[in-house]
C-alpha cells in the first residue's frame, strides 16, 4: 500500500497509480503526523472532528467502550456515533468485541492508519 519507491529509473505501470491524497485536517496535531497529506483510509479515520475524538477516546480506553459510553462522552446522538463507528470499522480502525449483551468497540492499533501512517490517538 504505502511502498516507498526506490530510486530506480524503471517504471512499472502498477507502481505509478498514484493514490489520492487528502489534506491533513486542522484538528490533527501538527508534528505528530509527519505527512501533510493523508491517504484515503486515514482521511476516513480523522477527516471528521468527532470521529477523530472518538479514535482518541478509544485509544485511551484499553478495555474498549460501548456505544452507550461513547455517546455519553461525545455528547452526540447514538445513531451519529454508530455511523462514525461503522466508518472506522470499514477501514479496520476499530474492532467489535461482543461482551454479554453489549458490543464493545476497541481501537485496532495494528490498523494501517496507526501502524503505517502513524495517526496519533
Q: Which is nearer to Zn ion, 26 or 100 (CB)?
A: 26
Touching Zn ion, residues 33-72 (CB under 5 A): 39, 42
Helices (H), the chain: 40-46, 49-60, 67-74, 78-90, 112-115
| Cβ atoms of residues 94 and 61 within 8 Å | no
Select from 65, 91, 93, 117 the one that contacts Zn ion (CB under 5 A). Answer: 117
Residue 70 vs 93, nearer CB to Zn ion: 93
Binding interface with Zn ion (CB under 5 A):
39, 42, 117
Amino acid at each position: 500500500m504505502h511502498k516507498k519507491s526506490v530510486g530506480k529509473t524503471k517504471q512499472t505501470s502498477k507502481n505509478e497509480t498514484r493514490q489520492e491524497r487528502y489534506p491533513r485536517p486542522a484538528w490533527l496535531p501538527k508534528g505528530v503526523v509527519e505527512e501533510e497529506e493523508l491517504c484515503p483510509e486515514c482521511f476516513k479515520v480523522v477527516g471528521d472532528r468527532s470521529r477523530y475524538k472518538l479514535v482518541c477516546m478509544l485509544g485511551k480506553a484499553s478495555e474498549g467502550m460501548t456505544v452507550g459510553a461513547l455517546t455519553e462522552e461525545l455528547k452526540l446522538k447514538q445513531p451519529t456515533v454508530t455511523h462514525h463507528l461503522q466508518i472506522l470499522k470499514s477501514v479496520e480502525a476499530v474492532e467489535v468485541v461482543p461482551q454479554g449483551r453489549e458490543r464493545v468497540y476497541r481501537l485496532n492499533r495494528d490498523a494501517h492508519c496507526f501502524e503505517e501512517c502513524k495517526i496519533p490517538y
